[in-house]
Chain A
């Protein structure tokens, strides 16, 4: 870890990356030239596959396949909350204050950093999609039924034409995007306006809304991403060529780039212009001989965290592709979750075998 100087907060990553010596890497060989941050990682024994991850202030919240949530505060002992006893957490989302989990027990539970859990909805089917709104509203889906609970607890439901897969709230206003077979639907839960279908043939899985609200983008069963320009022309954006399904995506701060998983490198699409990525080639970051499983852009600088199927985690500075190693490959330990805290000083990751960790860049 020679040459690495940790400064405060936002500048810390730039400083670290700047200190790295000629970062070259071929294949899975974690060569000595790649600067390693692995000894800045606080290991976490999650004990079960990490199915969701988020930060509640300075506490990392790991949602697990054994139905519990593991809370790791900056100081003191981790705490375990059995929020879906005998179940599994299928979906999780955070708003910075609580982690909301949906389970195969049909329950939706909010857990705070101190471990207090509150069930606030239940359904007869698996809850496998969730979104939280900055206002405190929560949306979840079980089968075709999508339910939105606003900040005052008013519940509204809408039945998607087929199983609702991904859910995402618009960055502004109380509007929800729902991904399903044949496209995505935009729905105002508290208005009588009919839901608006954005149609595109195929099965749409996850959905995200660009930070400026102009684009809605889905991942697809057909190893592709699909986007709709909401302004000015409702045009389609086809993003194809993936080896696998791009199930993870992350917007750069400001929203000029959308990083995606599903290939042997993070595929990063340019969304800085009003046409979006149409007619433009994506950038590739962190090319290795392993499938990218999760991506997470740093909240304040153009640094992308990439988690791979072989367990490796890299940080890549977007401008020049400089790479830092945050976790070495580990057999059977595919990365399943990645999340930066709000300041970008800590990166939490979780894996399929119940291993997890927190990379501490600045306290």
Chain B
């Protein structure tokens, strides 16, 4: 089985600088060849051999999972692109400024044929340092894109003073405590910080996210999107597994992302999981290192989540 093609999803509210980042990726000398899937109504001026227009058709799966939406056009395009495999090394999906990243991400877990051939590498969101605060107030899409991101480029930092940057970064942290944030001008970030992040790889979860370790509630008074993280010692798998499964089934529509590392008693390996809405992916990963504290950490990013109930539910799983 050949390696799965990595897929980077590029989101960002209108005018934040997505196309600038895309062109940086494509023009930089890195020796990799990209297939780029752009939205039909996107800004033009992308210079690449393999550019495919997409229609952003979000389909509900008729499988009883109410929040289970996928990008139907993406399934079709990736099926077609795979006929040209060998002509490109990675795929970049650019979404419109108003798009919800969840259906794009879910496509790579829900569709078996896509999941066999491609793997979601990371959701990268470009945010406008000057206007993000305003957008977070009036545009739910902008908030979604921040909440969903693995990597956030806080762009156009030259237009904002230091205090302003601190403020907007705190707002981002409140919504998404685990994303890596880069402050940029013209999206000038080393491409390695954006591509090949393996953010959905269970073996890498939370290794690249130091700030995740800060426990607590990152609620911001006027944000409907919340994030919080909890820690516990070892947890009982017979309690934890049904709890996380039930929670994501019940609260899935409101949970944008969740992830965690969990310690089970007498289990030498770490249990890691990550989820997008109702889709949960988890497995035993590497062994705990001797110098590591065997503790369980989970993070939830979502809308109108009941923090108290989730915390109590999680703590009740203690071994």
Query: Mask for A162-180, Cβ within 8 A of B = 1, else 0?
Result: 1101000000000000000
Q: Is A126 an interface residue (CB 8 A)?
A: yes
Please name all residues of chain B whose beta carbon is closer than 8 Å to the beta carbon of A264 when the two chains form the complex. none
Q: Is B72 an interface residue (CB 8 A)?
A: yes
Q: Is B53 an interface residue (CB 8 A)?
A: yes
Partner of B59, one of A65, A104, A203: A203
Instruction: Flag if B63 contacts A163 (CB, 8 Å).
Output: no
Q: Which residues of chain B (107-165) have a CB below 8 Å from chain A?
A: 111-113
Q: Is A181 an interface residue (CB 8 A)?
A: yes
Instruction: Flag if A222 contacts B80 (CB, 8 Å).
Output: no
Partner of A203, one of B53, B72, B113: B72
Expressed in whole angstroms, the Cα–Cα distance for A155 and B68 within the complex equals: 38
Q: Is B84 an interface residue (CB 8 A)?
A: yes
Instruction: Flag if A162 contacts B80 (CB, 8 Å).
Output: no
Expressed in whole angstroms, the Cα–Cα distance for A221 and B110 within the complex equals: 10
Q: Is A202 an interface residue (CB 8 A)?
A: yes
Partner of A126, one of B52, B60, B111, B113: B52
Q: Is A316 an interface residue (CB 8 A)?
A: no
Measured as residues with beta carbon below 8 angstroms from the partner, the interface class of chain A is: 20 to 34
Q: Is A51 an interface residue (CB 8 A)?
A: yes
Q: Is A244 an interface residue (CB 8 A)?
A: yes
Expressed in whole angstroms, the Cα–Cα distance for A89 and B80 within the complex equals: 9
Partner of B76, one of A88, A128, A220: A128
Instruction: Flag if A88 contacts B111 (CB, 8 Å).
Output: no
Instruction: Flag if B59 contacts A144 (CB, 8 Å).
Output: no
Please name all residues of chain B whose beta carbon is closer than 8 Å to the beta carbon of A165 when the two chains form the complex. 76
Residue among B63, B77, B80, B111 facing the most chain A CB atoms (10 A cut-off)? B80
Query: Mask for A209-225, Cβ within 8 A of B = 1, else 0?
Result: 00000000000111000
Partner of B55, one of A104, A144, A202, A222: A144
Q: Is A112 an interface residue (CB 8 A)?
A: no
Partner of A88, one of B59, B61, B62, B84: B84
Instruction: Flag if A163 contacts B80 (CB, 8 Å).
Output: no
Please name all residues of chain B whose beta carbon is closer than 8 Å to the beta carbon of A152 when the two chains form the complex. none
Q: Is A275 an interface residue (CB 8 A)?
A: no
Instruction: Flag if B80 contacts A202 (CB, 8 Å).
Output: no
Instruction: Flag if B83 contacts A49 (CB, 8 Å).
Output: yes
Expressed in whole angstroms, the Cα–Cα distance for A222 and B63 within the complex equals: 7
Instruction: Flag if A202 contacts B84 (CB, 8 Å).
Output: no
Q: Is B57 an interface residue (CB 8 A)?
A: yes
Instruction: Flag if A181 contacts B57 (CB, 8 Å).
Output: yes
Interface residues of B, CB < 8 Å — how many?
Answer: 21
Q: Is A78 an interface residue (CB 8 A)?
A: no
Q: Which residues of chain B (32-63) have a CB below 8 Å from chain A?
A: 52-53, 55, 57, 59-63
Instruction: Flag if A104 contacts B80 (CB, 8 Å).
Output: yes
Expressed in whole angstroms, the Cα–Cα distance for A212 and B55 within the complex equals: 36
Please name all residues of chain B whose beta carbon is closer than 8 Å to the beta carbon of A89 when the two chains form the complex. 83
Instruction: Flag if A88 contacts B80 (CB, 8 Å).
Output: yes
Please name all residues of chain B whose beta carbon is closer than 8 Å to the beta carbon of A162 when the two chains form the complex. 55, 57, 59, 72
Instruction: Find the B residue at minimum CB distance from A224.
Output: B62
Residue among B60, B62, B72, B83 facing the most chain A CB atoms (10 A cut-off)? B83
Closest chain A CB from B238 CB (angstroms): 29
Instruction: Flag if B84 contacts A163 (CB, 8 Å).
Output: no
Instruction: Find the B residue at minimum CB distance from A124.
Output: B53
Please name all residues of chain A whose beta carbon is closer than 8 Å to the beta carbon of B83 when the two chains form the complex. 49, 51, 65, 88-90, 104
Query: Mask for B70-84, Cβ within 8 A of A = 1, else 0?
Result: 101101110010011
Please name all residues of chain A whose beta carbon is closer than 8 Å to the beta carbon of B80 when the two chains form the complex. 88, 90, 104, 126, 128
Partner of A163, one of B70, B73, B112: B73
Closest chain B CB from A87 CB (angstroms): 8
Please name all residues of chain A whose beta carbon is closer than 8 Å to the beta carbon of B57 when the two chains form the complex. 162-163, 181
Instruction: Flag if A143 contacts B55 (CB, 8 Å).
Output: yes
Q: Is A300 an interface residue (CB 8 A)?
A: no
Please name all residues of chain B whose beta carbon is closer than 8 Å to the beta carbon of A128 when the two chains form the complex. 76, 80
Please name all residues of chain A whose beta carbon is closer than 8 Å to the beta carbon of B63 when the two chains form the complex. 222
Instruction: Find the B residue at minimum CB distance from A89.
Output: B83
Partner of B62, one of A49, A143, A163, A222: A222
Expressed in whole angstroms, the Cα–Cα distance for A138 and B258 within the complex equals: 49
Instruction: Find the A residue at minimum CB distance from B77.
Output: A126
Expressed in whole angstroms, the Cα–Cα distance for A48 and B83 within the complex equals: 9
Instruction: Find the B residue at minimum CB distance from A336.
Output: B83
Q: Which 3 A-B pairs have the closest CB atoms?
A: A202-B62, A65-B83, A88-B83
Known: A163-B72, A221-B61. 11 other contacts (CB 8 A): A65-B83, A88-B80, A104-B80, A143-B55, A163-B73, A201-B62, A202-B61, A220-B62, A221-B70, A221-B72, A222-B61
